[in-house]
Amino acid sequence: MAVPRVEEENLVFDIKISSVVPGKITGENKTHELKGIDLAMKLHYLKGLYFFTNNGLSSSTISVLSIHEAKKSMFDCLIPYFMACGRIRMSETSDRPTIKLNDAGVRVVEAKSSKTVDEWLAMEDFLSLQDHLVYNHVLGPDLPFSPLVCLQFTWFRCGGVSVGLSWAHILGDAFSASEFMNTFSQYIQNNHQQPKTISLQNTHQPTHPHPNPTRQPISVKRVGPVGNHWVLPANYKIGIHSLHLPLKQLHQLHSKVYGSKINDNGPTKYFEVITAIIWRSIAKIRKDKETDIVTICRSKTSQRQQMMPYNGQVLSTVGANCSVSSVDPSLLVKFIAENLVEENEMVEELVNKELSTSDFIVYGRNLTFVDMEEADIYNFKLKGKCPVFASYTVGGIGDKGVVMVLPGPRDGKDGEDDGKVIVLLLPEDEIECLKSELKNEWCI
């Protein structure tokens, strides 16, 4: 049972900030060219958060990780991940920014909390307090001095620790961010399996836009331009709420939507079912206003081992030619399975064409569903132990909101994920209404 929220002032204290650079320089005057799909994500920031207890250690005063271990491992890990150490530079000859590989390093934050890990996770809507545990960084206004990656290590009274990742989305998608963390944990455990470095020449050269794109993409929205401070101006406040759906409950929801049992012959993806249920529920709350079209964001492949970060997500939209709030959820599942329109090429063309006059947002332009079912976020280990809880969110989103579908906590017995975690990032005034709707209609 969740305990009430507490005063936020003293949740985290004794904060120290430093930088860690790679153990080997990449050379002078090397740059990484950015694609249109990268620049479409420039106002978005990914936030990962991992909690570890000190179970098995002899005393609560002994931590599962020391800052010396963390920095030493990061020093080595950043040699192959040199791109994460770069800084944004504006081209002297065009409006296209690039990443200058000047080995400036990543930002590291050390902090302490008077709470235990269990106490933190027991707090009501604890994920809404994530900014205490994940460094809240953005790029600019001094772009040459803004790190692309920030890591925060927070030590709890019990000897447990949380590791918070703040990751500029322009660098790569959530699967790239998760793989960066998994590789980092290999270095902590002295398993130095270096990722394969991709060529810096011609790999991310921008394509020439067609003068008349066949259709304007509806998965992106023009904003700005924002100049050198890469923050989305917003007059609304986004709330965060998370739901854990165990496997048994997912089976029940699947049966309720389809009217039949799950095929036990192979693994089942629940993303479409979850999306249909939440899409319909939000449409009820919004009285079908601007909910007929949603954006689906999923990776082309979850296999990112030994690969440098990149934005490999597929941006698709799907429309419903009916009242979403009253339609059978199985029909919404069918729409998602059969009517997706991929827009990556259109986004690439539009961004390249309007780079000098506009900036863009993707997440929250429409109600956006992010499929991270297959992201291996529980493979970030300390002392051979998986985190007791891990999650990802995204910042800089539009007012239509974002729903992220993540693996659930890993079962210690057989290592399998226990269901799914759903992270809701919606306008604050919709959170309670949605919780009530999901409880009354779906027993969630």
* Cβ-Cβ contacts under 8 Å for 109 (sequence gap 6 or more): 15, 16, 17, 135, 150, 151, 152, 153, 164
Write b or e for each residue in 124-143: b if 16 or more Cβ atoms lie within 10 A of its Cβ, otherwise e: eebbbbbebbbbebbbeeeb
Is residue 353 included in any domain, yes or no? yes
E strands, 63-218, are 87-90, 97-100, 106-112, 149-155, 161-168
Domain that holds residue 320: 234-373+399-442
Number of domains present in the structure of the chain: 2
**pLDDT at res. 103:** 85
Percent of the chain with pLDDT over 70: 86
- Region 403-427: mean pLDDT is 86
Give dist(CA 203, CA 196) in Å, integer: 14
Output the average pLDDT for the chain: 88
Is residue 224 included in any domain, yes or no? no
Is residue 390 included in any domain, yes or no? no
Could you tell me if 119 and 253 lie in one domain?
Answer: no
Could you tell me if 61 and 172 lie in one domain?
Answer: yes
Phi, psi of 276 (to 5 degrees): -60, -45
pLDDT tens digits for range 40-90: 999 999 999 999 998 766 556 667 888 999 999 999 999 989 999 999 998
Could you tell me if 39 and 163 lie in one domain?
Answer: yes
Is residue 173 included in any domain, yes or no? yes
Could you tell me if 141 and 259 lie in one domain?
Answer: no
**pLDDT at res. 356:** 87
Could you tell me if 270 and 407 lie in one domain?
Answer: yes
Indicate if the pLDDT at residue 312 is higher than 70: yes
Could you tell me if 408 and 259 lie in one domain?
Answer: yes
Asked whether 330 and 258 are in contact (CB, 8 A), the reply is yes
pLDDT tens digits for range 260-285: 655 543 445 799 999 999 999 999 99
Give dist(CA 181, CA 167) in Å, integer: 11
Instruction: Quickly tell me which residue has 């101006």 as its tokens.
Output: 233
Could you tell me if 123 and 57 lie in one domain?
Answer: yes
Could you tell me if 299 and 167 lie in one domain?
Answer: no
E strands, 129-205, are 149-155, 161-168
Domain end, chosen from 166, 188, 210, is at: 188
- Region 209-217: mean pLDDT is 61
Asked whether 391 and 420 are in contact (CB, 8 A), the reply is no
Could you tell me if 342 and 436 lie in one domain?
Answer: yes
Could you tell me if 279 and 163 lie in one domain?
Answer: no
Query: What SS3 class is residue 331?
Result: helix
Could you tell me if 46 and 150 lie in one domain?
Answer: yes
Identify the CATH number of the domain in which residue 26 sits: 3.30.559.10
Query: What is the DSSP pairing of strand 293-299 with strand 313-319?
Result: antiparallel
Is residue 207 included in any domain, yes or no? no
Q: Backbone dihedral region of 246: left (phi > 0), alpha (psi from -120 to 50 degrees) or beta?
A: beta
Is residue 42 included in any domain, yes or no? yes
Domain end, chosen from 188, 220, 244, is at: 188
Is residue 206 included in any domain, yes or no? no
DSSP 214-265: SS--SS-EEE---TTS-----SS-EEEEEEEE-HHHHHHHHHHHHSSPPPTT
Indicate if the pLDDT at residue 193 is higher than 70: no
Helix or strand run (H / E) with residue 315:
strand 313-319
Instruction: Identify the weakest region by mean pLDDT among 4-18, 284-298, 388-402.
Output: 4-18
Is residue 213 included in any domain, yes or no? no
**pLDDT at res. 59:** 58
Domain end, chosen from 188, 205, 225, is at: 188
**The token pair that represents 169 in the structure block:** 């989305």
Could you tell me if 310 and 431 lie in one domain?
Answer: yes
Asked whether 326 and 363 are in contact (CB, 8 A), the reply is no
Q: In degrees, to the nearest 5, what angle opens at C-alpha 353 toward C-alphas 347 and 356?
A: 115
